[in-house]
Amino acid sequence: MLYTRILDVGEVRLVVSRLKQRDSYGDALHLVIFRLSACCGLRCKEIRGIQIRDVRTSGARPHIQIRKEVTKGEKGKRKVRQVPLWWDKDTLADLTAWKQFRLVQAEGDVNAPFVCCQKYGHVNRPLSRSVLSRHWERTLTEFLGSERAKCLSIHAGRHSFASLCHQAGISLANIRDALGHSSLAITDQYLHATDDGVRDVFGG
């Protein structure tokens, strides 16, 4: 079977729905990691670097604020950017619920990491890139199978986000800004053809 290098809408919906059927902290963490990669286009470094205060879920334009020290690039050229959460209401709802949970867990410390270890005695400890990748791989292997998971690194979630947003009619310029690319040419390289024909961003 020939697999694409991105998640399609059906796969995104399947993974999300299966994770939401469960009720453990570990599964909630996996859902958030999946959402941040495949439904927000964050890099692994950004997932581990954002703080609770960076996830702004209220107002007319809810978004994730990516601080300079978290993003990619040479220090003098890094830019703050905003990743829209209003593009997909289900992603916004899931991240809002996690933020509320994390605020209680972190005792109101908005500078605590948004994504962190959930093991007893290690809560609030940031996850390394390798651990984030393992969580991603474990999730995809369980719900999509090992062969499919081999095609999809956590960075493939970022490509999936770009492709599905473009398929849903979001402009290339807006996708570029959400991803933090310096040019449209770079963003264009992230777009992969899909045959879903679904017009909602993630089919929610």
Q: Among 118, 62, 68, which residue's Cα sits nearest to residue 91?
A: 62
Quote the CA–CA distance of 159 and 25 in Å, as a whole number.
Answer: 27
Q: What is the pLDDT of residue 98?
A: 97
Query: What are the backbone angles phi and psi of residue 113, rounded to the nearest 5°?
Result: -65, 140
* Own/partner pairs, 35-38, CB within 8 angstroms, 24+ separation: 35/91, 35/94, 35/95, 36/64, 36/95, 36/115, 37/136, 37/154, 37/157, 37/158, 37/161, 38/7, 38/12, 38/157, 38/160, 38/161
Does some domain include residue 136?
yes
Q: What is the pLDDT of residue 197?
A: 45
CATH of the domain at 51: 1.10.443.10
Domain residues for the domain of 98 are 9-152
Q: In this structure, are residues 106 and 52 in contact, taking their beta carbons and an 8 Å threshold? A: yes
Does some domain include residue 18?
yes
H/E/C letters for each residue in 113-176? ECCECCCCCCCCCECCHHHHHHHHHHHHHHHHCHHHHHCCCHHHHHHHHHHHHHHCCCCHHHHH
Does some domain include residue 50?
yes
Q: What is the pLDDT of residue 141?
A: 97
Paired tokens of 183: 């040019």
Does some domain include residue 177?
no
Q: CB within 8 A of 111, min separation 6: which ones?
A: 51, 52, 53
**Element spanning 63, H or E:** strand 63-66
| Domains: count for the chain | 1
Does some domain include residue 175?
no
pLDDT digits (tens, 9 = 90+) for 24-38: 888 999 999 999 999
Q: What is the pLDDT of residue 199?
A: 45
Does some domain include residue 158?
no
Q: What is the pLDDT of residue 81?
A: 93
Does some domain include residue 135?
yes
Does some domain include residue 185?
no
Q: In this structure, are residues 185 and 70 in contact, taking their beta carbons and an 8 Å threshold? A: no
**Tens-digit pLDDT profile for the chain (204 aa)?**
456 889 999 999 999 999 999 888 889 999 999 999 999 999 999 999 999 999 999 999 999 999 998 887 656 667 889 999 999 999 999 999 999 999 999 999 999 999 999 888 888 899 999 999 999 999 999 999 999 999 999 999 999 999 999 999 999 999 999 998 888 888 888 887 555 444 445 554
Q: How many CB atoms lie within 10 A of CB 138?
A: 13
pLDDT digits (tens, 9 = 90+) for 87-98: 999 999 999 999
Q: CB within 8 A of 188, min separation 6: which ones?
A: 172
